[in-house]
């Protein structure tokens, strides 16, 4: 029986997790929310050492030390552009850990199950939760590793489809369901091991057909899976704190997945299985040879210097070039000269929601200048200049006008309605969706080629010189 004081500590930690999630919903409270959640997690880890007579304590401490070192090193070295990959790894580790814990618990249950009448002592729901945790945790682990490999370019980011994939996936899924039911009625440890292997196969087959800008959405979905497995693991272990924390992660991951899918203008089902019918957000990826109008930093500086209303559209290229500090300085100069300047943030700009917000926050950009798509889309028609920095698909008019485009139906920023558009690009390579952007070829669009950080520095100097 868990001591009362331990239950109270766990309850306090659970409340802290809820408050931390609330704090993370706003930029002014995000840092404190993050610290509160981290502190509660540390307390939750320490408590079992105090009231339980643990075995293998040295091994546990070694594992904690390895995890701590890995976390610190990762936090210091992982670039902002690699955050989605790191999130994918965190998802995978969480799901894999939950699956392993469930397997160990199943092993611990076996002596009770093998005794006459022992099954009733364990309970069918506990066995069902165990089977669920093993399968879904394994799915999250394997799927997250594939998403990491895709984003890290360790494998192709294009959808991977082979003949018979739907049949293999359906067969593995059906086998997992049947074996899960069998585990509840006639439990054996080998069934749990086979369930884990089936989960790994399902995870791989689930993510392989996903490509392009759909990959971050699948990361969010797998995050929800991991949360559900942690919640189920909390039930198995009779740990209320795990149950609450897992439920929070599962719910928030589910909502985030739906919000991202809506921002892409597609359903989750289409995102997961669209490639099986020939649909995906990843196009051909061919470099366009069509002529465009380009200019140098001096010409663009003149356009900006005489603009009263400027809107900045940041994207993944800004994060890659680490040009956010120079961009903020440019905006400060324009604002000091009387121009009204805002940043237009698309929900899926970058590789994950909030990517641009965090990137610009690093450069001390006032949060009041960050405008969500729905709040600023009506302002583009009045903008003298729209400066697109490293973005592509989120301003591609093909999402509105080309039914055959893989991003058709995705809500976009109305940059094409501005009086002048300056597109900062390294080359004519397409964006993450791999399709041509018609905005590049409009009469009101001027391209400024080059590395975003270098070009932004030159542009800043030219503006200051005017």
Active site residues: 393
Q: Specify the DSSP element, H or E, that contains 62.
A: helix 57-77
Residue matched to tokens 């611990």: 108
From residue 37, how far is each of 104, 229, 260, 355 by CA, in Å? 28, 20, 24, 21
Whether 161 and 280 have beta carbons less than 8 Å apart is answered as no
Using CB atoms within 10 Å of the CB of residue 100, give its burial: 0 to 12 exposed, 13 to 18 middle, 19+ buried: middle
Specify the DSSP element, H or E, that contains 314: strand 309-314
What is the per-residue DSSP string for 240-279? HHHHHHHHHHHHHHHHHHHHHHHHHTS-HHHHHHGGGGT-
Spatial contact of 327 and 456, defined as CB atoms under 8 Å apart:
yes
State how far the Cα of 104 lies from the Cα of 311, in Å rounded to an integer.
55
Tokens 């603009």 belong to residue? 307
């Amino acid at each position: 029986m868990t001591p009362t004081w331990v239950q109270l500590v766990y309850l306090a930690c659970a409340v802290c997790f809820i408050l931390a999630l609330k704090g993370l919903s706003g930029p002014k409270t995000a840092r404190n929310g993050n610290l509160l959640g981290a502190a509660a997690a540390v307390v939750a880890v320490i408590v079992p050492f105090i009231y339980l007579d643990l075995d293998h304590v040295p091994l546990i401490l070694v594992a904690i030390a390895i995890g701590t070192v890995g976390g610190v090193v990762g936090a210091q070295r992982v670039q902002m552009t690699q955050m989605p990959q790191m999130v994918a790894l965190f998802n995978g580790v969480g799901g894999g850990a939950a699956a392993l814990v469930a397997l160990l618990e199943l092993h611990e249950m076996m002596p009770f199950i093998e005794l006459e009448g022992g099954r009733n002592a364990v309970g069918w729901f506990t066995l069902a939760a165990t089977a669920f945790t093993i399968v879904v945790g394994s799915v999250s682990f394997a799927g997250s590793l594939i998403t990491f490999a895709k984003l890290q370019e360790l494998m192709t980011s294009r959808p991977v489809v082979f003949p018979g994939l739907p049949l293999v996936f359906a067969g593995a899924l059906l086998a997992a369901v049947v074996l899960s039911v069998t585990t509840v009625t006639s439990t054996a440890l080998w069934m749990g091991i086979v369930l884990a292997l089936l989960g790994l196969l399902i995870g791989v087959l689930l993510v392989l057909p996903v490509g392009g800008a759909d990959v971050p959405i699948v990361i969010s979905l797998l995050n929800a899976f991991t949360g559900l497995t942690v919640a189920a693991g909390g039930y198995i272990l009779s740990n209320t704190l795990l149950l609450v924390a897992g439920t929070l992660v599962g719910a928030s991951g589910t909502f985030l997945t739906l919000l991202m899918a809506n921002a892409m203008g597609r359903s989750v089902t289409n995102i997961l299985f669209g490639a099986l019918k020939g649909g995906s957000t990843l196009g051909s990826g061919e470099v366009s040879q069509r002529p465009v109008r380009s200019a140098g930093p001096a010409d663009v500086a003149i356009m900006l210097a005489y603009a009263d209303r400027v809107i900045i559209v940041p994207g993944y290229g800004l994060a890659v070039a680490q040009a956010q500090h120079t961009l903020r300085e440019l905006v400060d100069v324009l604002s000091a000269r009387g121009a009204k300047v805002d940043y237009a943030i698309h929900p899926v700009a970058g590789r994950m929601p909030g990517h641009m917000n965090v990137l610009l926050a690093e450069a001390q950009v006032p949060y009041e200048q960050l405008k969500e798509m729905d709040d600023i889309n009506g302002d583009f028609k009045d903008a003298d200049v729209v400066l697109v920095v490293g973005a592509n698909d989120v301003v591609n008019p093909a999402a509105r006008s080309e039914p055959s485009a893989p991003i058709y139906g995705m809500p976009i920023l109305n940059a094409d309605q501005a009086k002048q558009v300056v597109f900062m690009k390294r080359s004519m390579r397409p964006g993450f969706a791999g399709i041509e952007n018609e905005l590049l070829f409009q009469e009101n669009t001027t391209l400024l080629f080059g590395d975003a950080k270098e070009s932004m520095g030159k542009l800043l100097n030219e503006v200051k010189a005017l």
